[in-house]
Amino acid sequence: MKEKILVVGATGMLGAPVARRLRDIGFQVCVMTRRTARALRLFGKSFEVVESDITDLSGLERALDGCSGVHISLSGTVELIGVKNIVFVSKSIGIKKITYVSGTSVSEDNAWFPLIRQKLEAERVIKETGICYTIFCPTWFMESLSRFVKGNRAYMFGRQLWPYHFVAADDFAIIVARSYIRKDADCKRFITHGPEGILFRDALEKYCAACHPEVKHISKIPYWLSKIIARLKKSEDMKYISNFMEFFEKVGETGDPEEANRILGVPNTTLNQWLKDNCGERLTTT
At residue 280 the predicted structure's pLDDT band, cuts being 50, 70 and 90, is low
pTM score: 0.93
The number of beta carbons lying within 10 Å of the beta carbon of residue 31 is: 24
Task: Please report the pLDDT score of residue 35 as a whole number.
Answer: 84
At residue 38 the predicted structure's pLDDT band, cuts being 50, 70 and 90, is confident
At residue 284 the predicted structure's pLDDT band, cuts being 50, 70 and 90, is very low
pLDDT(274) > 80 = yes
**223-269 pLDDT, tens per residue?**
999 999 999 989 888 888 899 999 999 999 999 999 999 999 999 99
Task: Please report the pLDDT score of residue 1 as a whole number.
Answer: 53
* CA dist list (Å): 74 to 81, 83, 101, 192, 283: 10, 8, 8, 17, 32
pLDDT(286) > 50 = no
**140-155 pLDDT, tens per residue?**
999 999 999 998 999 9
Give percent of the chain above pLDDT 70.
97
What's the CATH number of domain 4-138, 3.30.499.10, 3.90.226.10, 3.30.230.10, 3.40.50.720? 3.40.50.720
Residue 263's SS3 state is: helix
Q: What is the distance between the alpha carbons of residues 44 and 37, in angstroms, rounded to a whole number?
A: 10
* CA dist list (Å): 194 to 109, 201, 275: 23, 17, 14
pLDDT(281) > 50 = no
Task: Please report the pLDDT score of residue 128 as a whole number.
Answer: 96
**46-83 pLDDT, tens per residue?**
899 998 889 999 999 999 999 999 999 998 889 999 99
Please compute, for residue 275, the number of CA atoms within 13 A of its CA located in the half-sphere on the CB side.
Answer: 23
